Chain A
Amino acid sequence: MMKKEKKPALITWIIVAVIYAAVFVAEQVLPPTSMLFTVLKKGATYALVAVSMNLLNGFTGIFSLGQAGFMMIGAYVYGIFTIPVESRPVVYQYYDGGLIQFTVPVVVALVLAGLAAAFFAFLIGLPVLRLKSDYLAIATLGFAEIMRVLIQWNNMGPLTNGSNMLRLYPSFNDFNIKDASGNVTVYLSTLVPFLIAGVCIGLIVLLLNSGYGRALKSIRDDEIAAEAMGINLAHHKRLAFCISSFFAGVGGAMLAMYQTTVQAKFFTTAMTYEILLIVVIGGVGSVTGSVLSSFLFVAASEWWLRFLDEKQMIGNFEVPLLRNGFRLVVFSIIIMVVVLFFRKGIMGTKELPDLFRRKRKEAAK
């Protein structure tokens, strides 16, 4: 019996290991300007954020739309604590070099980014988590808007640089190992985001498979029944909200690394909507689905569907409709089709190991 349970897990581990090895090898072999790496880096970032959103919306049944806000907090905390001291006068040129005059290591900054987001989640969760579905959605969305304005406030300038951007902090490219003359010897700029996202998603999966995870799922399925079974609703909801925000914060820091600049005006509700749609396409309630659809979404929007934005000629025939923005229209239609007709998304509520499990059963028949 145990052996049956272990085999799918083993296959999953092998697949994950192969993917990581492939990423590492591809990075050494292919030119670093390849679109593939843009997609992989951004995809890994979005995968983490999407999974963190799925933890709330898919597994706990809390419909939160504050994700962009928590990402923004994470991105800012990361930026603020990692800009090298010598670069601060340049970045904070309107605020006399800014308030903070020290830096912390990147890993510490990542954790701080998560903790800051979790802290704000705790604060906002106190009033907001008492609300029901759509009221909660709109309240968290409102919270994200408030944070965005607060960060851009001129009087916050010494800390957040006001409405100017944060830059010159370590980005993904700084993870490449260079020799003395500055030539890259080992490329790690794609593997590192994969590792960060992998560790975080792994932690979320561990949480979901624990007793806490089962409690969260029972809250999603029936709040009243869960409470009757002795689950402390307020405590578990707060926990899920803070943990989800923690990882959204880390994801925000990763996005900051990917973009190399941070500006509050990018973290709009549109970003939250985009992540929500990723979660829906992947399957609400499936970690694997969220990860898959993140990469698909990013690849389609940054790479595969790019041709829709430019004029295309087939022989002498100019394909009609193709011009700037058409890609997004096609994209929206695909999303609407998924939302309306394939409500389960790519994976439904299945995970990667489940796929092998089912196949085995069918084979046994």
Chain B
Amino acid sequence: MWDTIFPYLLSGISVGGQYALIAIGYTMVYGILRLINFAHGDVFMVAGIIMVYIAASGVPLWVSVPAVLVITALVGFLIERVAYKPLRTAPRMSAMISAIGVSYTLQNLVLYITGGLNKQYPAIPLISDSIKIGSATTKVVTVVTPVLVILLVVALVTLINKTKIGMAMRAVSKDFETAQLMGIKINSVISTTFVIGSFLAGVGSVLYFTNYPTVIQTSGAMPGLKAFVAAVFGGIGSIPGAVIGAFIIGIMENLIKGLDVILFKAGLITKPLGLAIFSDAFTFALLIIILVVKPTGLFGEKTTDKV
């Protein structure tokens, strides 16, 4: 029984870690701007495409990976400056529509550049090798991901709690206007948030596409949405919440993918039910349930609306 479940659990933890890296970007931006950055999943996809093209130019790995991360961070910065900054004082709906527009633009741009073809993601030595853990054979990236996620989260939490820019971020997310009155440069804080979020999405994309080795213009949409659900599940605005939510969603999703096999091996069903296709739907069902039962998520702060 355990031997059947274990491989699914393992890939669940791995995918969960990759979602976590995207989810942090969502939760940080939402915490500060109260904006669902619909384009964040596409930034993640763009990071994948950039890696494809940089690797094709033949530069060594120790150049290409950092280059991808820097360019992705830059993309995030530019998106914020071009598409969100002009709408700072506009109603929230305008900013959200702008985010959807950016998502549409990024997808079409990548469609144009790639010609709509699946692009093979370059194999990254070390993390795309196979290893055997217990009964399961998997790629090294599966083991690396959760470790790397935890390291990055610790670093990020330290940044937010101990540094000056972190303090500014906390202040801005607490109260936008007052923070501005206290002399905090709102725009640079917001830019920093986008840079950090995009950087982490870049890291996530390197890990994710090592497991799912092709990139196409729509590859970012689903992981993006799931990461957002994870952020809501954990309590939007809370970084540990987003990470835990992402791991839970990653694991549950993979268990559902294997549910047919697991139930069959356990002797509960005699023929496959085709439940695997519900792995995506489950995430959204979970979202609706959590929004109804506990809208603030697992670790979210309770907010009160003032008239």
Chain B hits for A358, CB < 8 A: none
| Interface-centre pick from B229, B278, B288 (highest chain A CB count, 10 A) | B288
Q: With both chains docked as a complex, state the minimum distance between the C-beta of A243 and any C-beta of chain B, in angstroms.
A: 20
Docked-complex contact B105 and A145, CB < 8 angstroms: no
Docked-complex contact A332 and B115, CB < 8 angstroms: no
Docked-complex contact A138 and B228, CB < 8 angstroms: yes
List A residues 322-365 near B (Cβ within 8 Å).
Answer: 323-326, 328-329, 331-333, 335-336, 339-341, 343
Chain B hits for A57, CB < 8 A: 93
Chain B hits for A137, CB < 8 A: 36, 96
Docked-complex contact B87 and A336, CB < 8 angstroms: no
Docked-complex contact B101 and A141, CB < 8 angstroms: no
Q: With both chains docked as a complex, state the minimum distance between the C-beta of B102 and any C-beta of chain A, in angstroms.
A: 7
Chain B hits for A280, CB < 8 A: 97
Interface size on B, residues (CB 8 A): 48
Q: Is A135 among interface residues, defined by CB-CB distance under 8 A?
A: yes
A152–B279 CA distance with the chains assembled, in angstroms: 13
Chain B hits for A128, CB < 8 A: 288, 291-292
Q: With both chains docked as a complex, state the minimum distance between the C-beta of A136 and any C-beta of chain B, in angstroms.
A: 9
Produce 1/0 per residue, A288-321, CB < 8 A to B.
0000000000000000000000000000000000
Q: Is A139 among interface residues, defined by CB-CB distance under 8 A?
A: yes
CB within 8 Å for A130 and B273 given contacts A335-B105, A336-B101: no
Q: Is A205 among interface residues, defined by CB-CB distance under 8 A?
A: no
Docked-complex contact B284 and A332, CB < 8 angstroms: no
Docked-complex contact B116 and A324, CB < 8 angstroms: yes
CB within 8 Å for A332 and B36 given contacts A276-B97, A340-B86: no
CB within 8 Å for A277 and B100 given contacts A131-B295, A134-B92: yes
Docked-complex contact B274 and A154, CB < 8 angstroms: yes
Docked-complex contact A332 and B101, CB < 8 angstroms: yes
A134–B232 CA distance with the chains assembled, in angstroms: 11
Q: Is B307 among interface residues, defined by CB-CB distance under 8 A?
A: yes
Chain A hits for B92, CB < 8 A: 133-134
Chain A hits for B101, CB < 8 A: 277, 332, 335-336, 339
Docked-complex contact A326 and B112, CB < 8 angstroms: yes
Q: What total of A-B pairs shows CB separation below 8 Å?
A: 130
Docked-complex contact B109 and A340, CB < 8 angstroms: no
Produce 1/0 per residue, A117-131, CB < 8 A to B.
000000010011011
| Interface-centre pick from A134, A152, A331 (highest chain B CB count, 10 A) | A134
Complex: chain B residue closest to A150, CB-CB: B281
Docked-complex contact A325 and B87, CB < 8 angstroms: no
Q: Is A13 among interface residues, defined by CB-CB distance under 8 A?
A: no
CB within 8 Å for A142 and B295 given contacts A224-B307, A335-B104: no
Q: With both chains docked as a complex, state the minimum distance between the C-beta of B196 and any C-beta of chain A, in angstroms.
A: 21
Docked-complex contact B287 and A142, CB < 8 angstroms: yes
Chain B hits for A269, CB < 8 A: 221, 225
A332–B103 CA distance with the chains assembled, in angstroms: 10
CB within 8 Å for A325 and B105 given contacts A128-B288, A135-B291: no
A76–B104 CA distance with the chains assembled, in angstroms: 26
Q: With both chains docked as a complex, state the minimum distance between the C-beta of A46 and any C-beta of chain B, in angstroms.
A: 16
Docked-complex contact B287 and A329, CB < 8 angstroms: no
Chain A hits for B108, CB < 8 A: 325, 328-329, 331-332
Docked-complex contact A146 and B116, CB < 8 angstroms: no
List A residues 129-173 near B (Cβ within 8 Å).
Answer: 130-131, 133-135, 137-139, 141-143, 145-146, 149-150, 152-155
Q: Is A273 among interface residues, defined by CB-CB distance under 8 A?
A: yes
Docked-complex contact B291 and A339, CB < 8 angstroms: no
Chain B hits for A323, CB < 8 A: 112, 115
Chain B hits for A333, CB < 8 A: 105
Task: Classify the secondary structure of A's interface with B.
Answer: helix
Q: Is A63 among interface residues, defined by CB-CB distance under 8 A?
A: yes
Q: Is B94 among interface residues, defined by CB-CB distance under 8 A?
A: yes
Q: With both chains docked as a complex, state the minimum distance between the C-beta of B78 and any C-beta of chain A, in angstroms.
A: 13
Interface residue from B87, B96, B218, B288 paired with A134 (Cβ < 8 Å): B96
A325–B218 CA distance with the chains assembled, in angstroms: 14
Chain A hits for B54, CB < 8 A: none
List A residues 87-145 near B (Cβ within 8 Å).
Answer: 124, 127-128, 130-131, 133-135, 137-139, 141-143, 145
Q: With both chains docked as a complex, state the minimum distance between the C-beta of A76 and any C-beta of chain B, in angstroms.
A: 16
Interface residue from B35, B83, B273 paired with A155 (Cβ < 8 Å): B273
Q: With both chains docked as a complex, state the minimum distance between the C-beta of A207 and any C-beta of chain B, in angstroms.
A: 22
Complex: chain B residue closest to A269, CB-CB: B221
Q: Is B285 among interface residues, defined by CB-CB distance under 8 A?
A: yes
List B residues 67-115 near A (Cβ within 8 Å).
Answer: 82-83, 86-87, 90, 92-94, 96-98, 100-105, 107-109, 111-112, 115
| Interface-centre pick from B82, B104, B105 (highest chain A CB count, 10 A) | B104
Interface residue from A63, A130, A145 paired with B284 (Cβ < 8 Å): A145
Docked-complex contact A146 and B281, CB < 8 angstroms: yes
List B residues 226-241 near A (Cβ within 8 Å).
Answer: 228-229, 232
Q: With both chains docked as a complex, state the minimum distance between the C-beta of B71 and any C-beta of chain A, in angstroms.
A: 19
Please report A residues at the B interface, Cβ cutoff 8 Å: 57, 63, 124, 127-128, 130-131, 133-135, 137-139, 141-143, 145-146, 149-150, 152-155, 224, 269-270, 273-274, 276-277, 280, 284, 323-326, 328-329, 331-333, 335-336, 339-341, 343
Given A130-B292, A142-B225, 12 more pairs with CB closer than 8 A: A63-B93, A127-B288, A128-B292, A134-B36, A269-B225, A273-B104, A329-B105, A329-B112, A332-B101, A332-B104, A339-B97, A341-B86
Please report B residues at the A interface, Cβ cutoff 8 Å: 34-36, 82-83, 86-87, 90, 92-94, 96-98, 100-105, 107-109, 111-112, 115-116, 218, 221, 225, 228-229, 232, 273-274, 277-278, 280-281, 283-285, 287-288, 291-292, 295, 307
The 7 tightest CB contacts between A and B, nearest first, are A142-B284, A325-B112, A332-B105, A328-B108, A149-B281, A154-B274, A127-B292
Q: Enumerate 11 A-B pairs (CB-CB under 8 Å) in ascending A order.
A: A127-B291, A128-B292, A134-B36, A134-B96, A139-B287, A142-B285, A142-B287, A269-B225, A277-B101, A333-B105, A343-B90
